[in-house]
Chain A
Amino acid sequence: MTPASSAKAPFQNKLLPLMLLLPQLLITLVFFYWPSVQAVQQSLYIEDPFGLSSEFAGLANFTALFKDARYVDAFLRSLFFSAAVAGISLSLSLLLAVCADRVVRGATAYKTLLLLPYAIAPALAGITWMFVVHPSIGIVGRAFIAMGIEWNYLLNGNQAMGLVIFAAAWKQISYNFIFFLAGLQSIPQSLMEAAAIDGAGPAKRFRDIVFPLLSPTAFFLLVVNIVYAFFETFGVIHAVTSGGPSKSTEILVYKVYSDGVVGLDIGGSAAQSVILMVIVIALTFVQFRYVERKVHY
């Protein structure tokens, strides 16, 4: 440490800062590093069905996974699911943010109402939508049937997928909305006015000025939404479809659970979670590497 930077340090000795950091470090250690290390370790072993013995298997768990057509299916399904969730929630929240940015009267009320879904746990969001679209008790579900649509997400895999995508995206809209709105409000009004004088109409102003200036925010949110869709949507899927019907909504994170906790294939499940961990690390890396740098203003 150079003398200049040590002179700025607010702590005289090293004990106090360590003590202040300790609770957070302990939590991270116990709830993050320990399970992570165990997952990596378990992914290298094969355990017998009764959990009595395990033997070292090297990368056998991983090679088995990529040979398993069902795993590859789940992988592709996850990609589709997260692209759909991110796409729907990002575009709807951008639309809402642009609208909310223009509202003058009652703006606070709109914003508060738009933020509320974020306070709901993913599982509850799923259950709520399940009650709305349930084929025999949901208002919308019964309306579908009344219109002659063969609506039953309990039997139809595509409909089930649509439902979990919708519920997962709906919950994330609030989060994206806050960031988009903040991004929109940080664009100086005079830029819009300058563009108006420069002959750009509202649509052109959005395309040429607003969107490029929002792009760092949009990219950040894209990464956050993908991570959300990959990992945090477990609750939605578990509550609404439990991965069914016939695995049609089983995304990677759900397969980790069903293979490990239900199927008791500890090694295979651990290998899957290690792969998920690598994906998250890669996404986070991309985010720090490119997002921080691309901010324009």
Chain B
Amino acid sequence: MAQVTLDTIRKSFGDTHILHGISCAIRDGEFIVVVGPSGCGKSTLLRIVAGLETATSGSITIGDRDVTKLEPKDRDIAMVFQNYALYPHMSVADNMAYGLKNRGMPKAEIDIRVKQAADILQLGPYLARKPKQLSGGQRQRVAMGRAIVREPKLFLFDEPLSNLDAKLRVQMRVEIKKLQQRLGVTALYVTHDQVEAMTMADRLIVLKDGQAEQIGAPLELYARPETIFVAGFIGSPAMNLLPGEITEGGAVRLTCGPTLELIEPIPNSAGRKVLLGVRPEHLSVRPGGTFALTVDLVEALGADTLVYATLADGTAFTARLDGAQVVARGDNLALSPTQALHVFDAETGKRVN
């Protein structure tokens, strides 16, 4: 258990810059998820924290120690890999014990720790088996077990659930989060799945092209995305982003027609090009509503209904309406926003209001 500080971590390969100075102070016991599209540098960041790659510049502190120049084994971390990286020729018990043996722990104590980990992860009956005799979910748990027997200061997870099927993924997601809360170990978790990110994280780091777009609690990011990228990335279905410009009175006039008043008008910005963000779930049917739509496709999910439609000028628009709605393809629908709108500068992509 420890607090972890990442200070302006940069990584470049020649002229290719992978990470542009990531900083983050992680509190003791916090679950931090690094999320972003593939190629954003999130795995590189994790590997730098693990010590498997060296940062071009910047420093990492785990607990009170600067570990920037230390070998992986001296950092007091444990890592769960995407492909689990279990040693195929060792039994489940040996897989978990290997790291302890290398540190010269007495055999009796190793046995106790392995037994405890196996109990927590329900691996008791499988201790003598080889990894190839286990199912995907069980292998995942062995990888977890190998991490927890070490009782490290920091857990690192590199997309640990992406090799599992959808149902198991949800189940393991809950198990990992529970386990981390129970052990109270600081964790850094990398994923490209925004649902995983939202559900597991105490705080999220949204990474894009090697830059931290925003760092904050999941609901903070949902309620107040700081950039267009975060707005589009967090939330499913994705936020509708409509082009427009600011009027004299500080409202937004959309290119597709309607003008929307904001709760807090934007002063002194008349003519500024912006994108207006409306979450699909923050809309309701209202006769004469702001957005006049023609329905293209309806997905009725029971609890709610997803409506894929087009605006008068052909812009695609998604709405998520409560309950089962009687809507069909070709219908005309009028919707009004029910919550605060998001306004982003069209050029910089930064939040305006």
Interface residues of A (CB under 8 A from B): 188, 190-191, 193-201, 204, 208-209, 212-213, 296-297
Check A204 against B102 for contact (C-beta < 8 Å). Answer: yes
Bound form: Cα–Cα A196–B103 in Å: 12
Q: Closest CB-CB distance, A217 to chain B, in whole Å?
A: 13
Smallest distance from the beta carbon of B157 to chain A beta carbons, Å?
A: 13
The answer to whether B88 touches A197 (Cβ under 8 A) is: no
Which residue of chain A has its CB nearest to the CB of B47? A193
The answer to whether residues A193 and B85 also contact, given A198-B102, A199-B99, A199-B102 and a CB cut-off of 8 A, is yes
A61 to B128 alpha-carbon distance, docked (Å): 54
A193-B78 Cα distance, complex, nearest whole Å: 11
| Residue from the list A188, A204, A296 in contact with B85, Cβ < 8 A | A188
Interchain CB contact under 8 A, A196 and B73: yes
Shortest C-beta distance, A98 to chain B (Å), equals 18
Given known contacts A200-B102, A208-B98, A194 and B88 CB-to-CB distance under 8 angstroms: no
Check if A199 sits within 8 Å of B73, measured CB to CB.
yes
Residues of B close to A201: CB separation below 8 A: 73
B87 touches A191 (CB 8 A): yes
Interface residues of B in 47-74 (CB under 8 A from A): 50-52, 71-73
Report the bound CA distance from A185 to B125 in whole Å: 33
Is A197's CB under 8 angstroms from B99's CB? Answer: yes
B132 touches A297 (CB 8 A): yes
A197-B79 in contact given A190-B85, A208-B98, A213-B88 (Cβ < 8 Å)? yes
Alpha-carbon distance A194/B146, docked complex (angstroms): 10
| Contact bitstring B75-96, A, C-beta under 8 A = 1, else 0 | 0011101110111110000000
- CB-CB < 8 A to B78: which residues of A? 197
Chain B residues near A213 (CB, 8 Å)? 88-89
A197 touches B50 (CB 8 A): yes
For the complex of A and B, the 9 pairs showing the least CB-CB separation, nearest first, are A198-B99, A199-B102, A190-B85, A194-B85, A199-B73, A212-B89, A197-B72, A190-B81, A296-B88
B residues less than 8 Å from A296 (CB atoms):
88-89, 132
Chain B 287-319, CB-CB to A under 8 Å as 1, else 0, gives 000000000000000000000000000000000
Q: Which of A190, A196, A199 gathers the greatest number of chain B CB atoms within 10 Å?
A: A199
B83 touches A190 (CB 8 A): yes
Interfacial residues of chain B within 207-256, with CB under 8 A of chain A in the complex: none
Report which of B50, B81, B83, B103 forms a contact with A199, defined as CB distance below 8 A.
B103
